[in-house]
Structure 1
């Protein structure tokens, strides 16, 4: 009897090849696509992860492979558990990473739930990450194609979820994935990779899109440089630490956002990039992927944004679910709200949300 598996089909090349590989392995494959579309066309048209082109690609793939397919309508939960908290974070002058929350609270959680409801043994996705099991503990590692590695976004996944998921393309590079898609004649073989943000309304920031979506008030304020007022802005939700573009402040030299006070609305600017460096920062709501705190001695690394390089660090838990992090190399523009993810080599240990930087 064939093993029944769920494959999360997004309409991209990676997930479609995951389905091909599952079929090659002799599995009974069921495709599942999460519908996260806002009912208002103004916002649904801007959702890059839920376009009509993606759905057309999904249906083409399922027809080509001859597999069963289901849509899961999840926008209400997506808005409640991901978009609204993200909008509230922007309103607090922080810069959230909604993808990390969405993976845990919506995508993987709902896929595992659906898999169990239909008697499927595993959930397969097109993420570039690798999974192994040692002594009953599931370990997540970086994908072999380091330019595409997505383990950073998966730090919230717990043992219950990891026991159910697999990543068929995690040990492959992108070129090989596209070659397989072309070999099978899939419409996704030359489809461009998706963007990072799930919303992109032309001409406005992600923070502004979320503010309008959730009907939150603006919190305007002042730009301050060396204690003096140098300009005004329309809302702290439109700015992030380290930002240079879009400030519309004339100081004669480039200025950067160095601090955001959500209470007063003041945004502190600096013109010297070295003033954005932090040798210590805190991390809140730390979750360890094994389910318990690992040995934090020895070589550890921290990655503070998806496209930054992990650097050696020391981690000191605070006993209240958080930690202080001391990077060996001071980090630029450490941003409250972003994910800080800890590794030992290519092994993902866990992560949390950046609180504040010194």
Structure 2
């Protein structure tokens, strides 16, 4: 097959490309220039898509003996990922930019271009497994639970999964690094990227304040309605947050308070005890079905609300176009704007059966 290997400059995508070459595919490497300021250098594990990363990807491609190109997707990334991220926070929601990037950049813009150029598949370094059952693709959790990225791939459609390759799905991170070292790849010990790639200093609140300005409001006790302090904007908070609240008045029982909800119109941030974070039902919009079929009636599943962790047994159904997820147990700190991803337990690795964007919780 003709395979386009997306090469970020990190160890995972490097080994994925190397495995595609070893499997006998006709591989071409491509690095996506996503940063509006590509001259910015990486600092340890923060930042990505820099000139340094492009150089690392090119050196790996040279060692593998494959053609290599840099494609400028910065404008598309800014519009579809960065601006969406800012708008979601301004609306009192907490988006997952990695999920948005996979959906709109790597498996929409990139895959569309790859197919138009005659490639059969796009290969990435994601930790997830793909299988074909009765002619339909199934997206599964990876063998490395700690690195599993099926959650941030859950919005992909069947037609996109049919053109995807995830060579690392059956591997654990330690083995991937060891393989990179054995192959002599210079990125074998390169630190993984953490936090949000377009906020390299890790200060999300400061980034959003620069983009949105200050929007003063009140911190309110959710139970009594008492005003407990002031803040510079709801975009500085997320549901479940405990630290950095700036409360003037301690709780009567001395226990910590958490962010319970955000009201962007009034500017209120409502806070309360941990027990008030408990969620038993999730309503999500824009449901997607990677296997292609919307389940009929209620389906038993495991619901996940964060990229790593935040899982509970559940039953799910579609009502009036919305995904309704009723948790058998309970979850805490479920933030609107995040994704709820549904899994079917399977001996060969849990299968992603659906996902949706969380609109509200009960």
SS at match of 2:286: strand
Aligned counterpart, 2:184: 185
Question: Aligned match of 1:216 in 192, 212, 223?
Answer: 212
Residue 110 of structure 1: how far off its partner (Å): 2.5
Hey, what's the Cα distance between the residues in 2 that align with 1:352 and 1:135? 25
Q: Deviations over 1:175-195 (max 9, x none)?
A: 211111001110111111111
SS at match of 1:300: strand
Hey, what's the Cα distance between the residues in 1 that align with 2:305 and 2:103? 19
Q: Deviations over 1:163-186 (max 9, x none)?
A: 111111111111211111001110
Structure 2 matches for 1:197-212, cutoff 5 A?
Answer: 197-202=196-201, 204-205=203-204, 207-210=205-208, 212=210
Hey, what's the Cα distance between the residues in 1 that align with 2:297 and 2:32? 37
Hey, what's the Cα distance between the residues in 2 that align with 1:116 and 1:218? 44
Aligned counterpart, 2:280: 279
Aligned counterpart, 2:193: 194
Structure 1's unaligned 5+ residue stretches are none
Whether contact under 8 Å (2:3, 2:28) holds in the other structure is yes
SS at match of 2:336: coil
2:353 corresponds to 1:349: yes
| Range with bigger deviation, 192-201 or 322-331 | 192-201
2:115 corresponds to 1:111: no
CA RMSD of aligned residues (A): 2.1
Distance 1:84 1:344, change over 3 A: same
Whether contact under 8 Å (2:7, 2:30) holds in the other structure is yes
Aligned counterpart, 1:233: 231
Aligned counterpart, 2:293: 292
Whether contact under 8 Å (2:144, 2:173) holds in the other structure is yes
SS at match of 1:289: coil
Structure 2 matches for 1:40-51, cutoff 5 A?
Answer: 48-51=47-50
Whether contact under 8 Å (1:315, 1:323) holds in the other structure is yes
SS at match of 1:336: coil
Q: Deviations over 1:234-284 (max 9, x none)?
A: 0000100111111121433422111111110011111x2111111112111
Aligned counterpart, 1:35: 33
Aligned counterpart, 1:304: 305
Aligned counterpart, 2:68: 69
Structure 2's unaligned 5+ residue stretches are none
SS at match of 2:114: helix
TM-score, normalised by the number of residues in structure 2: 0.91
2:275 corresponds to 1:262: no
Distance 1:284 1:43, change over 3 A: farther
Whether contact under 8 Å (1:222, 1:267) holds in the other structure is yes
Q: Deviations over 1:271-327 (max 9, x none)?
A: x2111111112111111112230246453010011121421101131122x122111
